[in-house]
A = this chain, B = another copy of it.
Amino acid sequence: MDQMVDRYPSRILPTPTIVDRLDPIVWGESKQDGAPLAPADIESFKRNGYLAFARFFTPEEVGRLTAALATAWHAAGRSDGDMIVREPDSDIVRSVFAIHESDAVFRDLLHDPRLAGIAAQLLGSPVYIHQSRINYKTGFRGKEFYWHSDFETWHTEDGMPRMRAISISIALSDNHAVNGPLMLIPGSHKHYVTCVGATPEDHFRESLRRQAIGTPDDGSLRWLVEQGGIDAPTGPAGSIVLFDCNTMHGSNGNITPYPRSNIFAVYNSVENALVQPFGGTPPRPDFIASRKVTPIA
Instruction: Mark each residue of chain A from 218 to 256: 1 if its CB lies under 8 Å from any CB of chain B, else 0.
Output: 100110010000101000000000000000001111111
Partner of A178, one of B218, B252, B253: B252
Q: Is the CB of A255 within 8 A of B257?
A: no
Interface range on chain A (Cβ under 8 Å from partner): 20 to 34
Q: Is A23 an interface residue (CB 8 A)?
A: no
A258 / chain B contacts, CB cutoff of 8 Å: 225
Looking at the complex, which of A10-18, A35-43, A140-148 is the stretch in contact with chain B? A140-148
Q: Is A183 an interface residue (CB 8 A)?
A: yes
Q: Is A177 an interface residue (CB 8 A)?
A: yes
Q: Is the CB of A255 within 8 A of B252?
A: yes
CA distance A253 to B137 in the complex (A): 14
A142 to chain B, nearest CB (A): 9
Q: Is A180 an interface residue (CB 8 A)?
A: yes
CA distance A69 to B176 in the complex (A): 32
Which residue among A140, A183, A253, A258 has the maximum number of chain B CB atoms within 10 Å of its CB? A253
A176 / chain B contacts, CB cutoff of 8 Å: 230
Q: Is the CB of A253 within 8 A of B144?
A: yes
CA distance A232 to B177 in the complex (A): 9
A255 / chain B contacts, CB cutoff of 8 Å: 144, 146-147, 183, 250-252
Q: Which residue of B lies closest to A257 (CB)?
A: B222
A174 to chain B, nearest CB (A): 12
Partner of A252, one of B147, B180, B257: B180
Among residues 57 to 93 in chain A, which have CB atoms less than 8 Å away from a CB atom of chain B?
none
